[in-house]
Amino acid sequence: DAGITQSPRYKITETGRQVTLMCHQTWSHSYMFWYRQDLGHGLRLIYYSAAADITDKGEVSDGYVVSRSKTENFPLTLESATRSQTSVYFCASSEWGGAATEAFFGQGTRLTVV
Amino acid sequence: GEDVEQSLFLSVREGDSSVINCTYTDSSSTYLYWYKQEPGAGLQLLTYIFSNMDMKQDQRLTVLLNKKDKHLSLRIADTQTGDSAIYFCASPKPGGSYIPTFGRGTSLIVHP
């Protein structure tokens, strides 16, 4: 199916465990992003990638790691989960074309750290 | 302050007009965007406006841009219960790169 998909949709994990959230897009968009959404904070950028093997930190990157070995995949890893990382995580992709550039979002992963 | 700021809540009656406001900091933004998030879903682009425009109309949606005050608004005419959602204003991150920066979102509640 064409689009951007995230997995899993829901995840409960324990404090201190490593957890990886997956993101896959079928358009071959250059840019990919990870955001977290928290009440009162809106969407905050965790990491982004301009192309395969190029990643950069966003405003809330501490405790997270990303990789992008293939254009279509952009996994996000929480190295040692903390309760403060309980959130809804959104992956997005876009193709920078100079004109109005739309970001396409996945359905989100709701992560609970207990 | 934040790059993009919005009020958090708006409650309107069905059939009335809704106006959602946003202020941004980067005067060099080429485009400004409105995204809509329905319950349990990701964001979807609703509309956008090019920075050299003052107004853009698209069916029930009207976007107004005041560049001098760095103020963006989204007006929804004849608001319906299906318009209940969170609306995000977005602009490229200051500094010239293309990274969408979002406001905190305005929760629009439409009641009968």
Q: Distance (Å, rounded) from C-alpha A52 to C-alpha B50?
A: 29
Do residue B104 and residue A40 have CB atoms under 8 angstroms apart? yes
Do residue B103 and residue A101 have CB atoms under 8 angstroms apart? no
Between B6, B31, B105, which is nearest A100 by CB? B31
Collect all residues from A whose CB is shorter than 8 A from any CB in B: 31, 33, 35, 40-43, 45, 48, 58, 90, 92, 94, 96, 100-103, 105-108
Cβ–Cβ < 8 Å for B62, B46: no
Between A40, A43, A106, which is nearest B88 by CB? A43
Do residue B99 and residue A107 have CB atoms under 8 angstroms apart? no
b or e along A30-50 (b: 16 or more beta carbons within 10 Å of the residue's beta carbon)? Answer: bbbbbbbbeeeebbbbbbbbb
Task: Supply B63's token pair.
Answer: 């976007």
A56 alpha carbon, distance to own chain's centre: 12
The whole-number pLDDT of residue B95 equals 66
Q: What is the mean pLDDT of the segment spanning A37-57?
A: 92
B44-95 pLDDT, tens digit per residue, is 999 999 888 999 999 999 999 999 999 999 999 999 999 999 999 998 877 6
Do residue B48 and residue A41 have CB atoms under 8 angstroms apart? no
The whole-number pLDDT of residue B78 equals 98
- For A47, the closest chain B residue by CA position comes to B99
Nearest Cα of chain A lies from the Cα of B25 at a distance, in angstroms, of 17
> Any residues with CB less than 8 A from the CB of B30 and at least 6 apart, and which?
B50, B51, B92
B13-31 pLDDT, tens digit per residue, is 999 999 999 998 877 777 8
Q: Which of B110, B112, B107, B109 is nearest to B37 (CA)?
A: B107
The whole-number pLDDT of residue A23 equals 98
Task: Supply B21's token pair.
Answer: 């406001």
Q: What's the CA dihedral at A112, B3, B9, B13 to 10 degrees?
A: -130
The whole-number pLDDT of residue A100 equals 62
Q: What is the largest CA-CA distance in chain B?
A: 44
In which band, very low, low, confident or very high, does the pLDDT at A36 lie, cut at 50, 70 and 90?
very high
Cβ–Cβ < 8 Å for B42, A108: yes
The whole-number pLDDT of residue B97 equals 66
